[in-house]
Amino acid sequence: MITTQNINQVRAQILAWRVKGESIAFVPTMGNLHLGHMTLINEAMKHADHVVSSIFVNPMQFGATEDLSAYPRTLEADKLALSQAGVELLFTPTSETIYPKGMQQQSYVEVPEIGDQLCGASRPGHFRGVATIVCKLFNIVTPDIALFGRKDFQQLMIIKAMVDDLSMPIEIMGIETIREASGLAMSSRNGYLTSEQKNQAAQLKTTIDKLCLAIKKGQSAPLAIKNAQQALITAGFTPDYIELRSTKDLSQVTDNHSELVILAAAYIGDTRLIDNLCFIR
């Protein structure tokens, strides 16, 4: 596996593959890789001649109160896992390479409406940071296809909207959430949890499942959501939101919507966890 911090070296390798008419799948990450990431890589292998990945803990998507420096960094273990999985090119840029003028002077990408609500409302600037870095990485790697986890459902929708709005010739593929045996969605943030908190955290999925069942049985959405919020509090969470939205565009649900998604974000201690469930009513 070629590992480089250098944009030109990435471009040169991509060009070498392109002149042979070969295709490229891309999996961008912030490192600290777990089974969820490796599932994206394994899936990527099925869709292109070459798989490229990146590891960059993107400062632009962290809020002022969010601890960027505490984000887990496990570069050597990540490199080993990626090369064993068959990744051929790994881009590990520095912040100076990505934001040479500093983040304040940097042009940015913002996806309106979808990006302003839910996690976007709780974490102002977060999705601007995500869309900007993904756009930059796409411009560097120029993949045919890029793969993202469905755990970050709102992020996936934002990236799809960006690609569509900006006419990028890239297929965006969402891959099912990988879970611990307890049901807890795999996330680098789980590493912040004690084993007791991890048991507690599994209740996020249970609560979402119960809410889904209540809605399917015809319970009124506001009542079912209120019960779900209470269930989260009882389980020891500080809920940020638990909401029912349309899968198509994350708009508020009306009687006409049948494809729905429950999205939830809740804190255990200082750790913010998210999860979601798509279903048909």
- CA-CA distance, 210 to 216, in Å (whole number)? 10
49: number of Cβ within 10 Å: 14
Give least dist CB 152 to ligand PAF, A.
5
C-alpha–C-alpha distance, residues 90 and 198, integer Å: 31
Indicate the residue among 133 and 184 with the shorter CB distance to ligand PAF.
Answer: 133
CA distance linking residue 147 with residue 212, whole number of Å: 27
168 DSSP β-pair partners: none
**Residue 272 · residue 265 · CB < 8 Å:** yes
Kindly list the residues in this chain that would bind ligand PAF in the complex (CB under 6 A).
28-30, 58, 61, 130, 133-134, 152, 155
- For the CB of residue 150, give the shortest distance to ligand PAF in the complex, in Å: 11
The three-state secondary structure class of 145 is: strand
In the three-class reduction of DSSP (H, G, I as helix; E, B as strand; rest coil), residue 117 is classed as coil
**Least spacing, CB of residue 262 vs ligand PAF, in Å:** 20
Known catalytic membership, residue 37:
yes
How many of the other CB atoms lie within 10 Å of CB of 8?
9
Closest approach, Cβ 231 to ligand PAF, in A, equals 27
Active-site pick, 34, 37, 47, 257: 37
Active site residues: 37
